[in-house]
């Protein structure tokens, strides 16, 4: 490959060809994370979150490319080193921004407000022991109120609050036990919707009123049915809803409040994963998860004209629509990019990439595109699986089984783990990433197969995939590894303890090792979910121990690396340390990395790179020994 450069009006051609196997790990991880975006009142400006500075901070940029076709120089609005910005909202009434940030990965989010063009962030919550949770929207249309949920009254409940930004006075809107998250404001700036998370598979929509403090459930109570509120219509007569009522997949409906009627709008045979609406009610935007790929659709509601954005194949993690529908912004990840900011101008029909995540200068054609296959499991269930095969041919290759977290999540074809897959592929190591039973995206019956069955059917899915790998003529069965984080860490530990003979090496990141201690140590507001999801430790201790990797620790043969955040509120460090201590007591080979200033995952870029580099090199070294 060659590129042309110009100096003094003379063009030179330079050879830029590089061998992928010679590129260091840092080239693959030389990427910015973009998380969330929000158009300001003036849609020519966009606020977004990025870790360009080494920490997840708040930035401001122009929404369009410059006349030269280049992104405008962004302005960094916060300079946090310990706090991580997680979500941002622009006021529809002025130039204020509200954002939520947590210290050192604790997930006890605090609320800040600032002007986008002047001034400095001002905290409006002050107790780092309390979690202030964000939702789909924050600002009321008139800009007077913000809404959020919090466990300040009781650690067992996440209740909904509205705060008047003029005097910081608060109104408690849900005076009941439960786990509530903010939905959307009605156009009258008086009513707002909220979602109550009843169980892992059941959610209800409530409508609250800031004038009289009332709250009522408005969607029917159906067991194992989700109702997730979307934006309100511009006339305030109702709102859009994402729901799987009477369906396998999540569809898009409209709920008429006066009639109490739910009317379907979109019912694809895939999940509708998000919906957005311009404040003037003109432009409806929604995204459908089609076998892991995001397809983004637009509808002009006045004419019913429908179109689809011509985006590259990938995964959309955030969608924003300007107040009058002039602009649609989104963050899109592909197998060759961590997540770029794209903006679509509805008037001119122009789509442009205004934020570029990749800065490692690796040519796009050097990355490996995954192939979708299905592997038949022990009971005939077909497991959707992404296979990444290195370009090296002619010999059997080592392979890594990557297990996603959740378990109610989905392996999708984005730039996984900030380039970890692509680094391994450059070293001739294949990656196989399944959507085992319990994964989302393949219908609610598929998702429910893991409920109260952790370490059961899904472990046999991994066994079936391991057997399939052993049968492939391009796989070296003596050099197979496994890795994952959170639930994926639990599954990794299950694999190396209960399917021990398959694996030469493994990496567990923040994974539970003992389901009894895990269930007893999760945040208080999670515990009402555990009976359906995992089990009840008080009543089912024997069952949970029987499913726990720690109960089979003596079987471990693989070299093991365990990585943990000391401030993890979901999987305490005791889950990692009890496994490490037992292995060390038996003289087994285990390495342990503890990040004292991080939590569940990695908020600090420096920690993320240390952890992923250790993971990359540990498995590369172990599988090639």
Question: What is the C-alpha separation between 287 and 314, in angstroms, rounded?
Answer: 12
Among 70-84, 182-196, 254-268, 327-341, the least confident range: 70-84
Q: Is the pLDDT of residue 225 over 50?
A: yes
Whether residue 341 is contained in a domain is answered as no
Cα→Cα distances 60→43, 118, 198, 327, Å? 12, 12, 37, 16
pLDDT for position 5: 40
Q: Is the pLDDT of residue 309 over 80?
A: yes
CB 591 within 8 Å of CB 3:
no
Q: Is the pLDDT of residue 16 over 90?
A: no
Question: What is the C-alpha separation between 620 and 400, in angstroms, rounded?
Answer: 10
pLDDT for position 584: 97
Whether residue 593 is contained in a domain is answered as yes
Whether residue 230 is contained in a domain is answered as no
Domains: count for the chain: 1
Whether residue 12 is contained in a domain is answered as no
pLDDT for position 21: 84
Question: What is the C-alpha separation between 8 and 135, in angstroms, rounded?
Answer: 54
Whether residue 249 is contained in a domain is answered as no
Convert the pLDDT of each residue in 406-456 to its tens digit. Answer: 999 999 999 999 999 999 999 999 999 999 999 999 999 999 999 999 999
**C-alpha 125 chain-centroid distance:** 25
CB-count exposure of residue 98 (10 Å: 0-12, 13-18, 19+): buried
Whether residue 604 is contained in a domain is answered as yes
Domain interval for residue 570: 368-624
Question: What is the C-alpha separation between 42 and 90, in angstroms, rounded?
Answer: 10
Whether residue 69 is contained in a domain is answered as no
Residue 24, SS3 per DSSP = coil
Whether residue 104 is contained in a domain is answered as no
pLDDT for position 1: 39
Question: What is the C-alpha separation between 522 and 395, in angstroms, rounded?
Answer: 46
Q: Is the pLDDT of residue 15 over 50?
A: no
pLDDT for position 17: 61
**Around 226, how many Cα atoms within 13 Å sit in the side-chain half-sphere?**
23
């Amino acid at each position: 490959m060659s590129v042309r450069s110009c100096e003094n009006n003379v063009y030179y051609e330079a050879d830029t060809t590089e061998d992928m196997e010679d590129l260091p790990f840092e080239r693959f991880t030389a990427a910015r994370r973009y998380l969330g975006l929000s158009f300001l009142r003036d849609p020519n400006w966009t606020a977004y979150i990025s870790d360009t500075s080494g920490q997840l901070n708040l930035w401001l940029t122009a929404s369009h490319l410059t006349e030269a076709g280049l992104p405008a120089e962004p302005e960094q609005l916060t300079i946090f080193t310990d706090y991580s910005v997680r979500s941002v909202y622009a006021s529809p009434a002025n130039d204020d921004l509200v954002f939520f940030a947590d210290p050192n990965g604790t997930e006890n989010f605090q609320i800040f407000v600032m002007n986008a063009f002047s001034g400095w962030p001002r905290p409006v919550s002050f107790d780092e022991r309390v979690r202030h949770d964000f939702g789909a929207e924050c600002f009321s249309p008139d800009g007077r109120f913000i809404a959020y949920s919090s466990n300040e009254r009781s650690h067992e409940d996440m209740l909904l609050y509205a705060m008047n930004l003029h005097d910081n006075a608060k109104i408690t809107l849900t005076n009941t036990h439960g786990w509530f998250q903010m939905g959307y404001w009605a156009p009258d700036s008086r009513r707002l919707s909220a979602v109550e998370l009843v169980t892992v598979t059941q959610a209800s929509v409530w409508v609250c009123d800031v004038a009289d403090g009332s709250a009522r459930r408005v969607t029917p109570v159906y067991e194992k049915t989700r109702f997730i509120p979307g934006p309100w219509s511009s006339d305030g007569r109702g709102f859009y809803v994402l729901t799987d009522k009477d369906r396998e997949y999540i569809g898009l409906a409209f709920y008429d409040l006066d009639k109490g009627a739910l009317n379907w709008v979109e019912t694809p045979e895939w999940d509708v994963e998000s919906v957005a609406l311009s404040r003037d009610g003109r432009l409806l935007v929604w995204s459908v998860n089609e076998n892991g790929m995001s397809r983004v659709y637009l509808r002009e509601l006045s004419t019913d004209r429908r179109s689809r954005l011509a985006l590259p194949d990938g995964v959309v993690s955030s969608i924003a629509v300007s107040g009058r529908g002039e602009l649609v912004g989104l963050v899109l990840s592909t197998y060759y990019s961590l997540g770029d900011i794209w903006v679509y101008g509805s008037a001119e029909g122009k789509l442009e990439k205004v934020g570029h995540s990749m800065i490692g200068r690796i040519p796009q054609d050097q990355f490996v595109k995954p192939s979708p296959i299905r592997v038949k499991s022990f009971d005939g269930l077909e497991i959707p699986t992404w296979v990444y095969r290195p370009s090296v041919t002619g010999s059997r290759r080592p392979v890594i089984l990557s297990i996603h977290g959740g378990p109610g999540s989905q392996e999708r074809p984005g730039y996984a783990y900030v380039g970890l897959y692509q680094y391994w592929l450059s070293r001739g190591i294949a990656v196989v990433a399944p959507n085992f039973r319990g994964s989302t995206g393949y219908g609610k019956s598929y998702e429910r197969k893991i409920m109260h069955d952790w370490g059961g059917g899904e472990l046999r899915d991994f066994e079936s995939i391991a057997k399939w790998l052993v049968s492939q003529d391009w796989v070296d069965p003596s050099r197979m590894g496994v890795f994952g984080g959170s639930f994926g860490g639990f599954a990794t530990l299950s694999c190396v303890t209960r399917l021990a003979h398959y694996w030469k090496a493994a990496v567990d990141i923040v994974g539970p090792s003992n389901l009894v201690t895990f269930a007893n140590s999760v945040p208080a507001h999670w515990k009402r979910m555990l009976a359906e999801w995992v089990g009840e430790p008080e009543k089912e201790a024997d069952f949970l121990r029987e499913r726990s990797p720690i109960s089979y620790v003596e079987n471990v043969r693989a070299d093991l690396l365990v990585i943990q955040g000391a401030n993890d509120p979901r999987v305490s460090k005791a889950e990692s340390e009890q496994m490490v201590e037992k292995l060390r007591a038996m003289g087994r080979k285990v390495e342990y990395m503890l990040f004292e200033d991080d939590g569940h995952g990695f908020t600090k870029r420096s920690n993320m790179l240390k952890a992923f580099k250790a993971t990359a090199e540990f498995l590369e070294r172990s599988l090639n020994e």
